[in-house]
Structure 1
Amino acid sequence: MTAGTAALTAMLLVTAVSARAEPKPAVKQLKKELSELQKDADKLITDYYAGRIAHQKAEKAEKAAREKLAAAQEVYDHHSTSLRAMAVAQYVGGEPSQLALLTGNRDPSALLGRMALGQHLIDVQDARVRGYAEVRDARRQAGEEAEARADDLRRTVEDLGERKEKAERQIEKIKDRIDLLYTAPGIRRPDGTWVPQLPDGPDNITPRMRLVRNLIEDRFEVPFGIGCYRPIQDGGEHPLGRACDFMLSQGGAMPSAAELERGDEIAAWAVKNARRLGIMYVIYRQRIWHVRTGSWRPMSDRGGTTANHYDHPHISVY
């Protein structure tokens, strides 16, 4: 091989390795971006807090309006019953009419007394009708106010949801930038794979697996625990300290919808960060994703929730 050929070959190798290697963002730039994102996040969180206060006020106003409407409805129902009883009594002759009062006794003094009684009854009926009209109007006003407060509450709920989503998206951006500050320890080969590491520490896992575990634990919490090293030689990476299971339930039970979603998020995060963090493959919901293929494929039924990885994402590193 001539010197020129050797130089050309070396240059091609360097170019190929550079093309495969992912550019590592500068830590200084990432920290600057984090600082800016944090400022924006603080503003959004403050805005979200203001929305919560407005929502609480709207809830109180809506509750007061409903209580006022219920009281007005009770009074309205009472007056309606009383007015109906009065109308029925008049219809069947339960109360004397003016004509009966005037054509009864011809004695002038008795006649005047009856006329006065008749006028009194008319006044009582008029008062009942006027009272009913006032109660009816008060009930209608209370209903309109309750409807308006309910509309206000619906708007504040929608607004609060939008503010919360904005804040959550900003927090996700911060988490993504923080992830970029970390790169898998160890040596990476030109083909993108990683040289294996020895397990160490009391947890008996490799530094690469420990980094992935810690990042997932910090970001997704994993309330049902994380299982990594186990001594059983089953042909997998657990006894080599290169695999962890992120549990979504206990006792082999099917996880809740919220926990299944958490598992989806963990698996998606692992796929997204696989090349940078040295993740080799992910198993979840009876499917496997491998970094070499870059796609999910189904797995055979192993006969149970845990065996089929429905209650935990499994992550193996190089």
Structure 2
Amino acid sequence: MVAALAVAALLVVAPAPAHAEPDEGGTKALRDALEASAKGHIEAKAKLDNSKKRQAALTAELKRIESRLVGLSAQVGEVAVQSYKLGRLNATGLLLQSTGPEQLLQRAAELDVLAQRDGKRLRTLAEERDRANLAKLAIDAEVREQLKQVNQMAKKKRDAEKALAAVSSGPSGGFGSGGSASARPAPRNPDGSWPKESCSVNDPTTSGCITPRTLNALKQAQAAGYQRHVSCFRSGGSGEHPKGRACDFSAATGGFEDRTATGGDKSYGDRLAAWCVRNASRLGVLYVIWYRQIWHPGTGWQAYGGSGSPAADHTNHVHLSMY
């Protein structure tokens, strides 16, 4: 009798059964299109940011060159005025004005010094003008590069919207700010782009592997307080899970429950989804899906619908895909 009561008590307090791997829903074509458009947008944004930095540096350099040109032009102007008033020393003048060999040598030395000084000023002025012209040409090139990348970002936005057309009804409200962008940034290439990574490190959530960038995102999310059940690597199928570039974060404390999150579980998912977006550029996020909404770097939050189940509609877990 006592044993039966104990078993009954355990059944009452035991959590609902958890599903280890939610069915993401959606088609392979949709996932591939979202991945391609998000990558294209991120790469174009990095090139745009780099071009703006180069333009700012070139503009500052041009300003310094133009400031030097003002001083050099004034010096060359003084030489021209002096030459006009006094005339230039020449061999004939030296012979006529010199009273002896010593004075002739002295005047010859003076002529050489003046010629070297004036010649250097003229050369420096010409070189600085050339530098200024090159800087202006480089600035014009950066402006063209920025226009190119802006157009590329617009194209990738259209690609994402086209891919989402079948499962989205348009823009949505998102899930708030999610706090500050405080995650530790993942390593980037010197030019600001994301290095290519493979599924090369152990996944602490499964027996599989994930990329170093995905591991960093997982650790940073956990460090930010999002420590409920997570599952990253998944063998088979398409999308980023088999590549070690995605993680699913359960909304419920007990795992991936086959029910739509409400109350505190919904609030937890809202905060996590917003945190992922706030830290997207630091972590290398491709897109985030939560509660019938998807965040894409080119479109922002959009309505998103699956097959109607909590897993397919992502109402029981937050899906994070990485670059």
User: Do they fold alike, i.e. is TM over 0.5?
Assistant: no
Greater helix fraction, Structure 1 or Structure 2: 1
TM-score by length of 1: 0.43
Q: Larger relative contact order (C-alpha < 8 A, sep ≥ 6)? A: 2
TM-score by length of 2: 0.42
Larger radius of gyration: 1
